[in-house]
Structure 1
Amino acid sequence: MGTTLATAAEVVAALHANADPAEEAKIRVRVADDEPVIGVRMGTLFDIAKAATDLPEAEFDELVTHAAYEPRMAAFCILDFRSRRALSDDRRVVLARSYLDHHDAITTWDMVDRAAPRVVGMPMLSGAVDVGILNELARSTDPLRRRSAITAPLWFVRKGSTADVERGLAVAASLDDDEHPYVRSAVRTYRKHAARRVSSSAG
């Protein structure tokens, strides 16, 4: 969309303007029964979030604490869009901290998958963010934090060294006995991509 969105209220209004009952039914299957859903196609939500990439921080905080799924998903998309810019290490630390500080707002696996690799994993490669945070997340009682622990290192597979990939595999090993499907599927995904990276390097 061509219009810049400057407030949380504008983002929420844009989401409601694009509500579709068919999309609401699709989203409902992956959110909690009591979680409000607007019903917005994901591609449209991405466009709305991109238009709000420069949302002031106070407005971002309002968006990321919204009760409904889509405003919070848009907030994590905004973090991802910001992380795609040329940023200083200090700015990347701010983005990672925003993700981690608002982790309680993450209620679905797709929020993790959208933002964790670039927002949290990328600054770990430069040392701007302590890689030990992955172990802290992996020990959490919250399965979505544990998913963050193994999803953030997908950036290691994409841009890191072999040693970085191995760090991710160590996190995967620590989650081997995890019984939650959100975590098991993310561990499989990391191992699959890591295996491709190793195979490509060997070739």
Structure 2
Amino acid sequence: MSILKEIQEALAVLSIPEKAEFFPRFFKTGKGEYGEGDLFLGVTVPDQRSVAKEYYSKIDLKDLSKLLSSKYHEHRLTALFMLISKFEKTKDLTVKEEIVTFYLNHLSYINNWDLVDSSCYKILGRYAFENQKEYLLKELSESEELWHKRIAVVGTMHYIKKGSFDLTKELVTRNLKHPHDLMHKANGWLLREMGNKNETELIAYLGQYYKEMPRTCLRYAIEKLEENKRQDYLKGRI
């Protein structure tokens, strides 16, 4: 049996019918919704991580491409977990570059918020930070594709973890008024994480932009602030 088939069967065995019924609603797969047409096996994330841990070192990028191109959501997420492990375990820059190129070539399959958020900053964001290639994220932030824009801003999570905030602020500002709620949430989330690392940076950014932020973005951004200060922002008293 091929490694690819082993992985697919391992995931199939872990399928939970109740989850398979629930996930399509949770990930908005109905007509006109952001996850339209996606299919689910009903495998939990911890189980997918277990499968990924067992097989990441055994699968090559050719088979990983087939798994990441699957119509099943759990196949794609498990493939990304394995790709992250491959990236994190190697010290070879050539291998890292190959993985980043692979990631960029498969963006069309990284097409829901959990797929984006689980992978982009651990692969693309980290690579961009460590090799001074911010343009990779900046170019995606200018794309017309929602998921590309979300990959760009969430990708800056690695920058925030390292205490670098300028790229996050730039990309949030670029798409501050994007029409989709998923971008409002992503922008607010990254601003909140910046505030967790350095509240002064968040307060300075809010001072300039909070009155024009979409409400969802603002609520996410100020979630961890002291309650009186939160209310001041929500009621426009600052």
Root-mean-square deviation (CA, aligned residues, Å) is 1.9
Moved beyond 4 Å, runs of 4+: none
Instruction: Assess if the C-alpha contact under 8 Å between 1:80 and 1:115 holds in 2.
Output: yes
Q: Name the residue aligned to 2:177.
A: 177
Q: Pick from 70, 73, 84: which aligns with 1:69?
A: 73
Q: Does 1:35 align with 2:31?
A: no
Unpaired stretches in structure 1, ≥5 consecutive residues: none
Cα deviation digits, residues 156-196 of structure 1 (max 9, x gap): 1112x4xx321121111101011112211111111011122
Query: Residue type matched to 1:65 in 2?
Result: S
1:7 matched to 2:3: yes
> Residues 200 and 126 from structure 1, CA distance in 2 versus in 1: closer, same or farther, beyond 3 angstroms?
same
| Count of matched residue positions in the alignment of Structure 1 and Structure 2 | 193
Report deviation, 1:26. Answer: 2.9
List aligned pairs for 1:1-203, cutoff 5 A.
Answer: 7-29=3-25, 30-33=27-30, 34-54=37-57, 55-127=59-131, 130-159=133-162, 161=163, 164-199=164-199
Separation in structure 1 between the aligned mates of residue 2 and residue 124 of structure 2, nearest angstrom: 25
Supply the distance in 2 between the matched residues of 1:197 and 1:186 (Cα, whole angstroms).
17
**Whose Rg is larger?**
2
In structure 1, the residue matched to 2:211 is: none
Contact 2:121 2:155 in 1 (8 A): yes
For 2:196, give the aligned amino acid.
Answer: R
Distance across 1 between alignment mates of 2:28 and 2:41 = 12
Q: Quick one: distance in 2 between partners of 1:68 and 1:26?
A: 14
Q: Is the 8 A contact 1:7 1:56 kept in 2?
A: no
Q: Which amino acid aligns with 2:168?
A: G
Confirm or deny: 8 A CA contact 2:150 2:183 kept in the other structure.
yes
Percentage of matched positions with identical amino acids: 16
Q: What is the SS of the residue equivalent to 1:150? A: helix
Using structure 1 for the length normalisation, give the TM-score.
Answer: 0.88
Partner secondary structure for residue 98 of structure 2: helix
Bigger RCO (CA 8 Å, 6+ sep): 1
CA distance in 2, matches of 1:197, 1:6: 45
Q: Is the 8 A contact 1:121 1:154 kept in 2?
A: yes
2-side partners of 1:158 and 1:146: how far apart? 20
Contact 1:53 1:82 in 2 (8 A): yes
Which residue of 1 is the match for residue 226 of structure 2?
none
